[in-house]
Structure 1
């Protein structure tokens, strides 16, 4: 039974380590989604795309975080495998002992999964990690969401222009993303060239990494939009949804003005 509990503890520590690394990477300027993907990829030894690795190697703080994460990941994987062997390679254990081990293991993993999905736990854990980072490291703890005043549905995210994407091969002016409530605030070419605040003449190419700002639903709609007839319908729907959102925001603003005058 001790080996089963040890396995649960090791997995718990692994989850904590990857969450710690994710928050640390976010504080270097990466988006939450990108930081989470990179932290999990490095910890498990899966690796990631060359373009992503260049962004890590070229940043001294990110490089330090990833180096520590790689070391801890190797230790964690070896520990998990060793504990699994100790847990299940027991020829003297009876049927009831096996059932008890499996039940505890499943119960422990279910509890960990539930806690990892809890927003309350995530917020509490994030505050604790931020405190530790600020106190014991030289990583500058910055709330980029707060600095940019992101709230509600609005967010900044990275979007890769893949093959056959609706935007590929078009000038930014012709795409008229503003109608969908979206703004392109930066663009990185496949060769590493960065264009800040692209203008209407900027050509969107396959392989470009776009820094987009807007509502989460609109960003998701755009990222999934491929060339073809369905793209026109998808875009029109996104425009209508943006109009509804703008009317809702305008109404809320009017109510705020009335309350202020009162």
Structure 2
């Protein structure tokens, strides 16, 4: 029984680590990758906010599809197979060989050279076969750790309320940020954004350097966070 549990957990651990590496090579953070891999294998979680990073990425979707199917069938298949072998006292060598093979794959994927090769392969697949519209917004805009994309809610006590962006931001053309659009109810305003007088309830989508955004919109972001905390709205709902 102990041997059975050990072999089973070794295989599951190795599969999890293999897919953590594969997801990380597509650009996903390690901690996010591990949680999502475990969620998909066990069908317990797969949270909405982080799962969009997988659902909106073609290569990650393929990896996820295999992982979900593996999670569905692996438990019954592995348990029945190992139990049968152990109960008959046969096939221990084959079981250990299979576990060793999975561990070998994991070990190979941990090699820096192999990770560089797979990373380059994934990048070529993205470059040649994936349309820009297929990628999630974060993949398109956030190219480095200094970039930020802020969905700024305007409240009555926001400094931007009742003003145009031209009035609120002096010499905005020289700043390393851009306002993409203003959402007012179901209407998306894309024309004359900087001359549009902002109202309570508007949402302003701002892209640029995080430092520049915080310098210009820091007070309004603080107001938004305070008001949203009081309304108990989660970050996923904000974004």
TM-score (normalised: structure 2): 0.44
TM-score (normalised: structure 1): 0.41
